[in-house]
Each structure stands twice: as structure tokens, then as C-alpha cells.
Amino acid sequence: MNASFHEIAGIISRANRVVILSHVRPDCDAIGSQLALALSLQHLGKEVSAWNEDGLPDSFRFLRKSDLIVRPPVEPQNFEIAIALDTASQQRLGSTRGAIRHAEKWINIDHHASNPGYGDLVHIDTGAPATGQIIYEFLRAEGLPLTDEGADALYAAISTDTGSFRYPNTTARTFEIASELIAGGVNAGAISKKLYESYPKRRVQLLGQILPQASFEAGDRVASMSLTNETKERLGIHPDDIDGLIDYVRCVDTVVVALFFEELPEGRIRLSMRSKDDRIDVNKICSEFGGGGHPRAAGARIRGDLEEVRRKVLKRVFHEIAESL
């Protein structure tokens, strides 16, 4: 059963040393949620660490005080509380788990449907469009401080995980929270400019490489793109340059399912999948390949050759479309 906000706040209130973690290849929801909660607990006088296996992506460095989020140390440390945010499975915490020698309590706060509920205190709200929205509700419900920098971070987290308030997961409460954040001083225009209008040139060059090779199949209802290690190395691509590229084929009017296959150095393929129809649950499909996420947005990391993985996953998607549509 979900732990209440009050139970979680009670455990945190009695701790002095806290570490806040998020998933590998962090998106803005992960980073924004981490930052806002870390700054809140720091304001209460707690000793707070905020770790991510990949550190802080360049694209989110505009968030004030975001340099608080760093890679985990080599020497493991002890904490009273470890908090995992926006992370559907413990494995997705990556090397941050090994950097914790001991934590008296683990807290798991998330919004992914595939989260199995690991940890001592668990709060999973699959109805929330972003973990950032859960953190906002938690801070407000428990009277915990929300700093100006934390408010910016939560607005960015919610904006990105709702596709700038366009996706079906956006609720009336989401708009209310955005309004409250803006009324409190968040500059929505400035944040949106940094998030959506400040891409490096190499991202555009990457689009020029992969868009002409996009594949449309199953009566143009399935679209996919692939990215090789060779292309990434040649263009000097950073991991956060790739975020959101799937939307360029997802937005095609006939497309129901969009897929993005990225070759990784360790002999795995990173799969991202999006659905535009409630009858196609991509979380269910990705879970069959060891991944998970949400019904309309999910992913997995699959060992194998790029083309082999691509054929196998597409075959599964074609079957689901034939059965469900």
C-alpha cells in the first residue's frame, strides 16, 4: 500500500543525512524533482546529497543550483534515508546504488505504472503526469519549503513530462499547479525558451541524418527511427541531445506507435516507444523486453544487434496492432 505524504515526511523529519537519487539517462522530470526536494531539505538544515549515474545533463544546467546534482562518489557512504525519484526499478538507479553502503530507510516516489514498489516507504501515483507534480503536492501538503529555484525545477519537470501540457496525461490539477508556480514567481516563458528553443546545432545535424531514414510500416501506423554508435561519435552527440527526437515521427497524423532504437556501446539497444491510442499499451510491450514505463510512453534496454532487436520489437508491435486495432 502507498505510504501517505505524512508518513514519508515523518521519516524524513527525523533524519539528518539524506541522499536523493534518480534514474540513469535522466530526463527533466527526474532532475527537476531531485533538485526541488534536495533544496527543500537543505533549507530545513539537513545534509543532502543528490546523485545520478550520469550527473547533470548540459541541457538542464540553466536550472539554478542544479550543480547540486552530481555523479556518485567512488567511496560508498552511509545515509539515514535514501530517496529514489521517478525511477521505475532499482536497476535503473545504476551505479548510485553501489555508492550507498547503508541506508536505514529507502523511500520510493514515482508515477510509473511498471514500478513494482521497491523500498520501505512507497508512494506511486500513476495518475500523476510527472513525478514533479507529486513532489509539489508533497511539499505543499506537509508545509515543507519550496524555494524559488525548486519552483523553477518543478515547473520544468511538469512541463517536459506533459509535452508542454499537450499530452493526455495532463490534468486540470496540472494546470492549477502550473498557475500556482507562475503566480509564485516562476518565469514560464524563460524556462520554456531554455527547454524548447535552445538546442545545440549538433541536434539539428543529427535530425538531418536520421529523419531521411525513418521507416513507416503497417499502413503508416508504425514509425521508427534508428541511431547508431557511429553517427553519435561522428557528430559528437550527447545523451540529452536525443531526448524528444521520437516526437518527430510520433506527430505524423497516421502514426499510432512510434519507436526509437539507439545503439549503446555495451552491446545493448535502448528502445523508446510511444502510443497515441489507449488500445496499444506500450508499457505492456516493453515489459516483455525487460523494460516498462507508462501505457503511452515506455522503454527498455535490450541486448543484441541493432537490426536484430529492431526486427524483433517491430514484429511484436505489428502483432499488437493487428490484434487491438
The three-class DSSP label of residue 63 is coil
Instruction: Give per-residue pLDDT as tens, 270-293.
Output: 999 999 999 999 999 999 999 999
* Contact (CB, 8 A) for 23 and 131: no
pLDDT category at 74 given cuts 50, 70, 90 is very high
Among the listed residues 257, 260, 278, 277, the one whose alpha carbon sits nearest the alpha carbon of residue 269: 260
Per DSSP, the three-state class of 108 is: strand
CATH for 201-324 is 3.10.310.30
| Average pLDDT score over residue span 259-263 | 98
Say what the pLDDT of residue 294 is.
96
Residues of the chain with CATH 3.90.1640.10: 5-196
CATH 3.10.310.30 residue spans of the chain: 201-324
pLDDT score for 1: 79
Global model pTM greater than 0.85? yes
Which helix H or strand E contains 286, and what residues bound it?
A: helix 282-287
What confidence tens digit (pLDDT) does each residue in 98-122 have?
999 999 999 999 999 999 999 999 9
What integer best gives the mean pLDDT of the chain?
97
pLDDT score at 62: 98
- At 58 the pLDDT is 96
CATH number for region 5-196: 3.90.1640.10
Instruction: Kindly state the average pLDDT of the residues 50-64.
Output: 97
pLDDT in tens, 120-140: 999 999 999 999 999 999 999
Residue 156: partners with Cβ closer than 8 Å, 6 or more residues away: 28, 32, 60, 63, 132, 191, 195
